[in-house]
Amino acid sequence: MRGLRRSSPGDEANREARQMAPGRRLVAAGILALLVPALLGLWHLRAPLFLVHHAPEIFEARAGAFSANITGERSWRTEALSWRLDGGPPQPLAVWPPRVPWPQFVVEIPATMLLPGDHVLVVEATAPLRPRQIWEHRFRYDPRHPSGPVVRSWQPAEPLDVQDGHFQRIRRGDGSFWVRPVPGREGWDRTLVVTGAFVGARRVETRLIFRYPTVDHGRFGFGMFPLWGGRPDVGHRPARGWRFAILWYWGDLPGLQLGFSERVGDAPPVDGPRSWPFLFEPGRIYRLIAEVWPAADGRWRLRARVHPEDEPASVGWFVAEDDNGLFAADEPLGVPLFAHRSQVEFGETRVTPLAPPWPADPQAPWPNG
């Protein structure tokens, strides 16, 4: 009859396949339901419990509350994280926002634990249903102070000595290397060490490019600590205090601030910064120069110049004094750079020890050139 067609073997096969398809889909879904937890479990067993970002093989001189630090991040699976030095007792690694928020961690090795020579640091993590993860790091402590100028050009062969945060190198079109906080990892006082602790006056020079703040309000900044005494605190880690002379841009003004400050633990800070109107243009290279020295009256002086690299420096200096007598003339102090809630790039940085005689007038040229 017209309109009727005899079934072919192919039609029968297609019909059988359609009848079997739901069952196959069910079996596939069942296999997938078993595989996904298995794969997640395998990933859970193999994924690291923590990552180390910065761990220099050599730490330069430390003193006072200026510690030797190692920074990194823990996994959300990590239950406990601790460190120990040279087989000593374990020290827990806690979070303390805003300086060290979750998931970051910072190992702070006090200067009192650092003897000249080789050391072994062990970081250990535990998590439910996981074997413990142990990371061992051998480093050398060199207590010698710089006797001449120190120049950091941030070459790949130079390990980054970081007090807080996660930094990276970038290479510019002219072949020079710069350093910056890893984008997305900016935060509270991301601090990069230029030199270890040494006694006496110094000149600090750096090149800087401000890119953008990472907060909607003006409480961000960047600059340098020409004097760095670390974070004084007793019995609390991460340490909550600070001790420094500072040259920085503070967006809340907006402008430059110079001054000396100390905070022990969570006590109120002792400081008295001086401020000047100033604006940084994003993407432009600026030069920052700071000179700091102990004057004849026992108080430290700090003076600075800041200007775009393609413009001449101003004739005068911004000047501040240690009115509270926070720093002694014979105190060993370091020099770091820092970015606070901002994305900033730092270029070549030079630290030059300075010798007396000191300038009688803070606006006068340095007597020895």
Per-residue pLDDT of the chain (369 residues; tens, 9 = 90+): 444 455 555 566 566 555 555 666 665 565 666 555 544 454 556 799 999 999 999 999 999 999 999 999 999 999 999 999 999 999 999 999 999 999 999 999 999 999 999 999 999 999 999 999 999 999 999 999 888 899 999 999 999 999 999 999 999 999 999 999 999 999 999 999 999 999 999 999 999 999 999 999 889 999 999 999 999 999 899 999 999 999 999 999 999 999 999 999 999 999 989 999 999 999 999 999 999 999 888 899 999 999 999 999 888 999 999 999 999 999 999 999 999 999 999 999 999 999 999 988 888 888 876
Residue 200 and residue 358 in contact, taking contact as beta carbons nearer than 8 Å: no
**Omega before 92 within 30 of 0, i.e. cis:** no
What is this structure's pTM? 0.87
Residue 229 and residue 243 in contact, taking contact as beta carbons nearer than 8 Å: yes
Domain 50-353: give its CATH code.
2.60.120.560
Helix (H, G, I), strand (E, B) or coil at 36: helix
Closest CA to 345 of 206, 217, 175, 216: 206
According to the model, what pLDDT value does residue 4 have? 45
Strands 285-294 and 202-213 turn out to be antiparallel
Q: What CA–CA distance (Å, rounded) separates 56 from 197?
A: 16
According to the model, what pLDDT value does residue 15 have? 60
| H or E stretch covering 260 | strand 255-263
| CA-atom Rg of the chain in angstroms | 28
Q: What CA–CA distance (Å, rounded) separates 363 from 286?
A: 21
- The residue with tokens 């002086």 is 301
Closest CA to 289 of 265, 316, 329, 324: 316
According to the model, what pLDDT value does residue 133 have? 97
Closest CA to 258 of 296, 281, 226, 232: 226
Closest CA to 343 of 218, 102, 167: 167
Q: Which two tokens stand for residue 143?
A: 């207590």
According to the model, what pLDDT value does residue 1 have? 42
Sign of CA dihedral 139, 109, 250, 353: negative
Residue 166 and residue 71 in contact, taking contact as beta carbons nearer than 8 Å: yes
Helix (H, G, I), strand (E, B) or coil at 74: strand
According to the model, what pLDDT value does residue 92 have? 97
| H or E stretch covering 151 | strand 150-152
Q: Which two tokens stand for residue 215?
A: 């907060």
According to the model, what pLDDT value does residue 38 have? 46
Task: Report pLDDT digits (tens) over 297-344.
Answer: 889 999 999 999 999 988 899 999 999 999 999 999 999 999 999 999
Q: Which two tokens stand for residue 71?
A: 């920074």
Residue 231 and residue 240 in contact, taking contact as beta carbons nearer than 8 Å: yes
CA separation (Å) from 125 to 12, 93, 100, 132, 308?
Answer: 62, 10, 18, 6, 47
Helix (H, G, I), strand (E, B) or coil at 27: helix
Closest CA to 346 of 196, 190, 228: 190
CA separation (Å) from 161 to 15, 70, 94, 167, 210?
Answer: 70, 8, 21, 10, 21
| Amino acid sitting at position 366 | W
HSE (CB half, 13 Å, CA atoms) of 199? Answer: 7
Instruction: Give the contacts of 339 (CB within 8 A, at least 6 positions apart).
Output: 180, 181, 186, 189, 190, 222
DSSP state string for 269-304 = PEE--EEEE--PPTT-EEEEEEEEEE-TTS-EEEEE
Residue 304 and residue 317 in contact, taking contact as beta carbons nearer than 8 Å: yes
- ∠ at Cα 42 (36, 48), nearest 5°? 130
